[in-house]
Chain A
Amino acid sequence: MNYNWNWGVFFEELPGGEERYWEILVNGVGWTLAVSAFAWIIALVLGSAIGTIRTTPNRLLVSLGNAWVELFRNVPLLVQLFLWYFVVPEVSAPLKAWVVQAEPSHVQFMMAVIGLGLFTSARVAEQVRAGIQSLPRGQRAAGMALGLTTPQTYRYVLLPMAFRIIIPPLTSETMNLIKNSSVALTIGLAELTFRAREMGEYTFSFFEAFTAATLIYVAIAMTANRVMALVERRVAVPGFIAGGAK
């Protein structure tokens, strides 16, 4: 194969800059993690709310929740990001005013966080809904029979168990979210994959650059897995086997 190997490329400097290539990769990782973290907060908060209301007896709330999920599930993430970045500012004058004078990376970051957060919130909503519905029916009845109101029943009885049950699928969603953050490179966000490609374009050491990015993503995935497994162990209920206690 006709390829010039150069594993030392990571220590070379960018043309014109004083940064080395490994430094810009680290910079990229920072943006990846930052976007992922903020988007995850949005996704968890909104997704839990939407997932919960889809299990209430109120038909209107259930329909609203379902509409939300269908909306964000049926449009590709890339298209959603483009809508936030290119279309929404055109529709909202105050937003456009901010976008025009703001630092480009800030705009990219914000749109990436919103787009990725809302996209993922629909998936989280699905998991939360499934988790609540997998609980034995009698749990809700027992809560109400004691005189707890519906919000109290959700808060003290249903949600604590539902969230424990869905830790494994939520872990997958966390990994998906981190991987999906790479799509933000299309609106210019300088996250890890963007930087890896940039490095390849400057040095033609694509193999080295992509290998580094690959290893970093694998490392992030393994860490996320480990962390979630720890969380699952910490909050596990003694004597409870997932899937309904009888």
Chain B
Amino acid sequence: MDTPMIDIRNVSKWYGSFQVLNKCSTQIRKGEVVVVCGPSGSGKSTLIKTVNALEPFQEGEIVVNGIPVHDPKTNLPKLRAQVGMVFQHFELFPHMTIIRNLELAQTKVLGRNQKEAEERGHKLLKRVGLSHHSHKFPGQLSGGQQQRVAIARALAMDPICMLFDEPTSALDPEMINEVLDVMVELAHEGMTMMVVTHEMGFARKVAHRVIFMDEGAIVEDATKEDFFGTPRSDRAQLFLSKILSH
């Protein structure tokens, strides 16, 4: 399968006169797991949000599974239904029970019937280890539990690829692993994943490629082995030395 799942071509973005993305280009193939890292302000969160059109961009093109994201004629809700996203602050809907969080988009966007949606929801809750919490509210769960539900919510849509925007950055240290474990399993099952994260252990375990961004541009785009072995740019080296040492 030669056409990439996610094809980012020369994407640039400005907030007013400040440039946040500078001619970013990369391709992610089906089944690939790509980690995006870099110092804060490097544009990595902005870049991942352009993929499902949550952030508009002024120059360049993005094509996801053959659908042009930048085309004003594209049906964005339909596109977004196929692309799963997990947010740094979980963003579960606090006024709905866990199971309702999981079934809302299934029924309203995909048109599944209530029973089907609930079944799928329960299945996914089991998979992330939270079956007994289906009737609780997000506020009653810990951060790690909420994030696992968020992953289940995205998976309930049967997405073709998943985007993760710093999924563990808002978690207390002891809860990070429970979320990473779910993500590792997903990777092993062959899900196409684009993950913005500082967790280099995760990258080393399951990533195929690592992208390093700095000041809005993609500075390194290498296989995992190359990146951790011999990163070419000084900035990537500096960054790696900083995060790997703590």
Contact = CB atoms under 8 A, between A and B. Distances in A.
A142 B95 contact: no
Contact of B95 (A138, A143, A161, A241): A161
A146 B170 CA distance: 21
B79 to A, nearest CB: 8
A156 B104 CA distance: 8
Interface in B125-142: 136-141
B95 A146 contact: no
A146 B154 CA distance: 7
Nearest to A237: B95
Nearest to B156: A146
Interface string B41-58: 000000001001010000
A21 to B, nearest CB: 49
Interface string B106-118: 0011100000000
A238 B141 CA distance: 11
Contacts of B157: 146-147
B85 interface: yes
Given A146-B105, A164-B95, A237 B137 contact: yes
B141 to A, nearest CB: 8
Contacts of A143: 93
A149 interface: yes
Contact of A138 (B89, B137, B139): B89
B66 interface: no
A145 interface: yes
Interface string A228-246: 0000000001111100011
A146 B76 CA distance: 11
A34 B54 CA distance: 47
A147 B138 contact: no
A245 B87 contact: no
Contact of B94 (A144, A146, A148, A245): A245
A132 to B, nearest CB: 14
Interface string B172-200: 00000000000000000000000000000
B137 A141 contact: no
A211 B76 CA distance: 62
A239 B96 CA distance: 11
A136 B95 contact: no
Interface string B137-162: 11111000000000001100100000
Contacts of A156: 93, 104, 108
Contacts of B140: 238-239
A161 B93 CA distance: 9
Given A237-B137, A237-B139, A142 B87 contact: yes
Nearest to B88: A138
Contact of A144 (B54, B78, B137): B54
Contacts of A130: none
A22 to B, nearest CB: 46
Given A145-B80, A147-B109, A152-B108, A240 B153 contact: no
Interface of A: 136, 138-139, 141-149, 152, 156-157, 160-161, 164, 237-241, 245-246
Interface of B: 49, 52, 54, 76-85, 87-89, 91-95, 104-105, 108-110, 136-141, 153-154, 157, 170
The 9 closest A-B pairs by CB, nearest first: A239-B139, A147-B81, A142-B91, A146-B105, A145-B85, A147-B109, A239-B140, A138-B91, A147-B80
